[in-house]
Structure 1
Amino acid sequence: MKDFAGKTAVITGGASGIGRAMGALFLDKGMNVVLADIEHKALDETVAALNSGSGRCVGVVTDVSKAEDVQHLADAAVAEFGGIHIACNNAGVFAGGLLWEESVADFGWQLDVNVWGVIHGIRTFVPIMAKQDSDCHIINTASMAALTAMPYSGIYHMTKHAVLGLSESLYHELAFHVPNVKVSVLCPEMINTGIGTSERNRPSAYSRDGDIVESEARTMVSEAIAESVAVGIGPEVMAQRVFDGIVAERFYLLSEEAWRETAHTRLDDIRLARNPTFAPPVDL
């Protein structure tokens, strides 16, 4: 895609972080933007802030774990702007700890948002784009966690590996059947976002008695992430990475820093059939 003016982007997880930064950049490029988020107040505030530019921005409260919510989001975007040209399946959550200590709800919540949110996006947005006589692009937000495996965040790694594998298969299927639609997978490193405080959005269905297990490992990883994201890369860098990837039709949108070296070590482990190496990125 080279022409952005007047086209429409839909972004989940759009009230903050990378989603908000993508919305701001797309608006700056003359696009209309539909932001989706589960946080009603934060979404309203973001839409109001971004609407000061030349484009038009609207917000739709959306729980991406629910297929009907994502369909409602798409319907609202088409009704408001006539089509969808870029869809960013960006919403994501995190909870850490030891895998055998984490609750079924911890697994369910992260799978429902991080994986099912992308699944619902693909199933909803691709058919709409396939009917449009224009270039379109899907962005699925994974993580450098999709290419690595660190302790105390196994559920998150699992979900992001799933997003990467799903996106790779989608790349081939689109090339064979819907060539006007391209796909990229964004794999951020440590970004200055609210991912470390995802629990603020944790629905009651995943927060019943026994669903949140306090442990030393959970506390440790929460504190470590809070420290890392506080000095992390600005989300606007990821927005530019996405924009450049769309223009270049580049699939893998990866870190160029320490996380890439950790990913290379893991790939060498697989290539050489050796046991997994503990090789955390030096900027973790």
Structure 2
Amino acid sequence: MDSFDGKVGVVTGAASGIGRALAAGLAAEGMRLVLADVEASALDAAVEQFRSAGHTVEGVVADVSDRAQVEAVAAVAIDRFGALHFAANNAGVAIGGPAWELTEADWQWVLGVDLWGVIHGVSVFTPLIIEAGGGHIVNTASMAGLTSTPFMAPYNVAKHGVVTLSETLALELAMLAPTVGVTVVCPGWVKTGINRSERNRRDDGAAADAEPAADGAVAGGIDLRSTIDGLIATGLDPDDVAAQVIDAVHTRRFSVLTHAGWSSLVTRRAERLVSGDQPELVLPAND
């Protein structure tokens, strides 16, 4: 997209973190926005801040794991602004623990938001963007969609799914609707509340020991929970991620790996898969 001015966009997970930073960047370039988030109070605060800055925004409380609520977000965009040119499927949650100890509800919660939320967004928003004559779709995956971290199985599975969904969508749109671009975002450690995402979870049968990251897990002398919390706390600022995403949309780049030094991890993983070697435990630093 050459210009965002006057265009209409939807951002999910827009009340905090990467979503809020991305929405701020889009609004600063003139995009009219529908902000969606499951956390009502944080969403209200974001909408108020955006409006006080002179931006045109609407807020919709929505759980993206429910297709009907995603459809409601799209309806607000069409009813309020008449078209849709951009969608960022960004909402995300995480939980930790050994794969065999997590409950079905744990899996359903993470896959519901992180994978089905993106599937719903692609299904609902893409036809509207095509109808508007073109635009762009951004799907937030993770480096966990290109590598695997222990004690994060549902998150890893969901984010791998988002990467291949985005690749498939890009191929299909290139053939059937080439005016619509796709970008998949694979952040490393970013200063967000992802390690506190259970604050927005309903009591639906979570495992008693389920945590946002691997509570008490130790591998190679590393306390994974405290290490991950520390890496997130010192991670990339969401504004920096948003700037990379906006540049990718302007230049129609497919993938954004926010931490340039991490690309070697993807290569090493591919080499191990080809050779049959065992996976390696890697918790890369913020570089």
Flag whether TM exceeds 0.5 (same fold). Answer: yes
C-alpha separation in 1, matches of 2:8 and 2:166: 21
Return the offset for 1:222: 4.1
1:2-151 mapped onto 2 (5 Å cutoff): 2-133=2-133, 135-151=134-150
Residue 159 of structure 1 corresponds to which residue in structure 2?
158
Return the offset for 1:280: 3.0
C-alpha separation in 2, matches of 1:167 and 1:260: 18
Residue 234 of structure 2 corresponds to which residue in structure 1?
231
Q: 2:271 is paired with a residue of what secondary structure?
A: helix
C-alpha separation in 2, matches of 1:181 and 1:215: 39
Matched-pair contact (CA < 8 Å) for 2:234–2:286: no
Q: Deviations over 1:69-102 (max 9, x none)?
A: 0000000011111111110000000001111111
C-alpha separation in 1, matches of 2:75 and 2:109: 25
C-alpha separation in 2, matches of 1:55 and 1:44: 14
Return the offset for 1:258: 4.1
C-alpha separation in 1, matches of 2:139 and 2:267: 22
Matched-pair contact (CA < 8 Å) for 2:235–2:286: no
Gaps of 5+ in 1: none
What TM-score do the two structures reach when normalised by structure 1? 0.93
Partner AA of 1:213 in structure 2: A
Q: 1:59 is paired with a residue of what secondary structure?
A: strand
Which stretch shifts more, 183-192 or 222-231?
A: 222-231
1:181-220 mapped onto 2 (5 Å cutoff): 181-204=180-203, 206=204, 208=205, 211-214=206-209, 218-220=214-216
Partner AA of 1:219 in structure 2: D
Residue 174 of structure 2 corresponds to which residue in structure 1?
175
Q: 1:218 is paired with a residue of what secondary structure?
A: coil
Taking every aligned residue pair, what percent have the same amino acid on both sides? Answer: 41
Residue 262 of structure 1 corresponds to which residue in structure 2?
265
Provide the aligned C-alpha RMSD in A: 1.7
Return the offset for 1:260: 2.2
Q: Deviations over 1:35-70 (max 9, x none)?
A: 100011110011101112232011000110001000
Q: Deviations over 1:156-179 (max 9, x none)?
A: 111100000111111101111111
Matched-pair contact (CA < 8 Å) for 1:63–1:70: yes
Q: 2:136 is paired with a residue of what secondary structure?
A: strand
Partner AA of 1:28 in structure 2: A
Matched-pair contact (CA < 8 Å) for 1:102–1:213: no
Which stretch shifts more, 212-221 or 47-56?
A: 212-221
What TM-score do the two structures reach when normalised by structure 2? 0.93
Q: How many residues get paired?
A: 279
Residue 221 of structure 2 corresponds to which residue in structure 1?
none
Which stretch shifts more, 264-273 or 78-87?
A: 264-273
